[in-house]
Structure 1
């Protein structure tokens, strides 16, 4: 373990700026470029959907990328390298989108390469950033650190979309590429300054693992009961988290008769709830004691509240006139924010619960499960809606089926959360493993 003193709040915020920068580039590729492809170029919505899914699929490489940082024992080069690849991917994605207006097939081929680079960059930088946070943040500050880093990522979404939204009008291909290149360059420079000197050098080299092949290292981590169980929990809970993303706004319009503007504002209410839940974990988590036990309680509680809200949404059509939809969406967002922040804090605790020198592989496994679940969740939610419409013969019945299925996923997540880290109570041959998961 590093002998450096734990990071203070300024250091945590500095590393949070990397997540802000990462979010700034990603939101342009998943939002602005999506809009240009569908509206300005009149292309099928399936195209940007497939490209975004591709960037999630590439993140299955997170364990391999984490293993690479384990071998060198330093996370900073992987963060900087990942951000460089991400910035390059963002610029190429904008160029590809602009090119689609005059040369569709070459533009699409370049976009495939660009989104592969975006996924690789996010995987390399994001995995090593979380491992570095876990190594440098004191246990009692990890809940707050997890919340701060994710709040700063959301801030990156907000600031980037608000700023570039003005700069991109009136639209032109040249303007799209120029604005994206400027955002990518600024994000990379901010990341470079944010990580400078945070990790140190000598201590990090002492933490390097002995050279080993990737697949044996992955099998070794998967054989650890704590890591395997938490990976399954992350997959199921993030599937539940993302399954509702593409459903709530159409539901508000179809069942409650809301206009486009009203349903969009409803989405902002839900995201406000997510921020409130994360802030709650940041404040309460930094004050309370109890380590992983306390985090388990927050995770179970958040999943339980989400289960109850989704259950009520499934039957909301029966009393649409009096149902408090805005309050329900805020409560759902707050439950999601609280459980997600607590889960990320638990992830930072459990990354050390096993053989030393495998932290990158472990965090990569958790991150890959999260990315795959996010990629699948939105698609499965919409697919379930279509199946539900056919099965029940009504739109309302389709939405009810989606909410009931999502509620079941949150119930399963709460059940899995009850056992997070429990296997670490058994005797371990790795000193500190049980302590990390307690």
Structure 2
């Protein structure tokens, strides 16, 4: 019976994140493709839009603290998850019209797009923070690893499903069908959020609320102070700095292709919406296979997390090289195998790198370090989107290079970024990192207060 309860709990926690997977996939494979390739929007503007929400990931700290201290009707997670799901999903309703405006190079549409994505990013920070906190609060340490793996896999699967639905509804760009597709978003997001979250969280008792109200504010919990402490650790500790840079570059090495992959299919091979929608399914399926495979293998044979991340990173680079080759020799048949290899690498990398992140913490300061690594992820994602768009605009839209050559250079550059990240990883030692003690953090705090 306990196992059945665990399975049901895991499924419901995973269902909560289906909406996030749907929305992020729709933004990165559909909105960008339509805006850039079908409507002629300036690529760097579109990719900067998509990357914008990553740069405001620090809001997760704010929302987490707010939810901790400000329960709504006795709940600290459920209202924030539902509110953020509602607001975030409603952002998608005007996006088809915004895409048309971006294609017309309208300043007003550009401003509207940035405002909408800014709101989306802030609400998704609330959603992510609250969802992660809920998982931490309703699972035991023994359960947590399996739950996180299933939740992560669910996000990937929902992205694949989003691509499949989009391809079925809109095989080629059609403004009416695009609006119909985006109109589904609030329904998908809210139905799954309600199924997953209602009844999952325990309501705080009157005693809990009284204790919360009596709890004094701690100056050290100020988000600005936390940011300064984190910055001091990156500046002063070699291992922290190296791991931060590794995470940032590795995420760039994975996601630099994300916002331009579908335009690549359209501009180099003339593929339609339905065909490029398979890209998400190819690498997402590979990632799932990689995660499941390494999870099973590591349960039988102990494998170094650093080795897993290294093999995964090199696999990502190898898949990108296959895509580069496809572009250079005009072999469309190489794209999906390349994406599968890249996806396998991503799956391995995710398992190894996430496990390393959890090890690269100090007792009593886990939240600080996980926030620091999360910031590196956010910056890596954001820079990936901006750099890819800038390269597209500078090389292709300017007609400096042909799309075939330009995309080969962009994906080749991405592969080199990932190889550089793997090179940095080789010099990182968890044991040496553990030499950083709480006293060192106290020193940084004291310096910040001085």
**Is 2:418 the partner of 1:411?**
no
Contact 1:23 1:157 (C-alpha < 8 Å) held by counterparts: yes
Structure 1 position 130, deviation (Å): 2.7
After TM superposition, the structure 1 stretch with the greater mean CA deviation from structure 2, 303-312 or 267-276, is 303-312
Is the alpha carbon distance of 1:413 and 1:271 closer, same or farther for their aligned partners in structure 2, counting shifts above 3 Å?
A: farther
Report the alpha carbon displacement of residue 101 of structure 1 after superposing the two structures with TM. 9.2
Q: Does 1:216 align with 2:225?
A: yes
Q: TM-score, normalised by structure 2?
A: 0.70
Decide which of 124, 127, 133 is 2:126's aligned counterpart.
124
Distance 1:39 1:9, change over 3 A: same
3-state DSSP class of the match of 1:66?
helix
Instruction: Report if aligned partners of 1:98, 1:176 keep a CA contact under 8 Å in 2.
Output: no
Q: Count the aligned residue pairs.
A: 413
Kindly tell me: are residues 364 and 96 of structure 1, through their superposed partners in 2, closer, same or farther at Cα, counting changes over 3 Å? farther
Return the match for 1:274 from 287, 296, 299. Answer: 287
- Measured after TM superposition, the shift of residue 187 of structure 1 is 0.7
**Could you say which residue in structure 2 is the equivalent of 1:435?**
none
- Cα distance in 2 between the residues matched to 1:185 and 1:263: 26
CA apart distance, 1:231: 3.9
Distance in 1 separating the partners of 2:330 and 2:96: 43
Hey, what's the Cα distance between the residues in 1 that align with 2:301 and 2:78? 30
Q: Provide Cα deviations, 1:133-167, integer angstroms capped at 9, x if missing partner.
A: 34544445545433322221122222233334444
Distance 1:223-1:194 versus aligned 2 partners, 3 A rule: farther
Q: Cα gap change, 1:223/1:28 in structure 2, threshold over 3 Å: closer, same or farther? A: same
Between the aligned partners of 2:65 and 2:283, the Cα distance in structure 1 is: 36
- Structure 1 residue 318: deviation in Å? 11
Partner of 2:382: 375
1:433 match: none
Distance 2:124 2:224 in 1: 22
Provide the TM-score with structure 1 as the length reference. Answer: 0.72
- Which of 159, 162, 168 in structure 2 is aligned with 1:160? 162
Contact 2:364–2:438, Cα closer than 8 Å, also in 1: no
Asked whether the 8 Å contact 1:55–1:116 carries over to 2, the reply is yes
Counterpart Cα distance in 1 of 2:243 and 2:78: 26
1:53 Cα deviation after fit = 2.8
Q: Structure 1 CA distance, aligned partners of 2:410 and 2:114?
A: 33
Q: Is 203-212 or 329-338 further displaced after alignment?
A: 203-212
In structure 2, what is the Cα distance between the partners aligned to 1:8 and 1:71?
28
The CA RMSD over aligned residues, in Å, is 4.9
Q: Matched residues in 1 for 2:330 and 2:179: separation? A: 45
Cα distance in 1 between the residues matched to 2:172 and 2:335:
36
Deviation at 1:15, TM superposition (A): 1.6
Cα contact 1:243–1:406 (8 A) shared by 2: no
CA 1:139–1:93 in structure 2 vs 1: closer, same or farther (change >3 Å)? same
Structure 1 CA distance for aligned equivalents of residues 58 and 42 of structure 2? 26
Change (3 A) 1:26 1:333: closer
Moved more, 165-174 or 42-51: 165-174
Corresponding residue for residue 199 of structure 2: 197
Measure the CA separation in 2 of the matches of 1:31 and 1:404: 20
SS of the residue corresponding to residue 90 of structure 1 reads: coil
1:366 is the counterpart of 2:377: no
In the other structure, the counterpart of 2:352 is: 342
- Per-residue CA deviations over 1:344-372 (Å, capped at 9, x if unaligned) read 3444x35974436x73x654443332222
5 Å-filtered alignment, 1:314-325, equals none
Instruction: Note if contact 1:56-1:375 (Cα within 8 Å) is conserved in structure 2.
Output: yes
Matched, 1:150 2:152: yes
Question: In the aligned structure 2, how far is the partner of 1:296 from the partner of 1:139?
Answer: 22
Cα distance, 1:213 vs. partner?
2.2
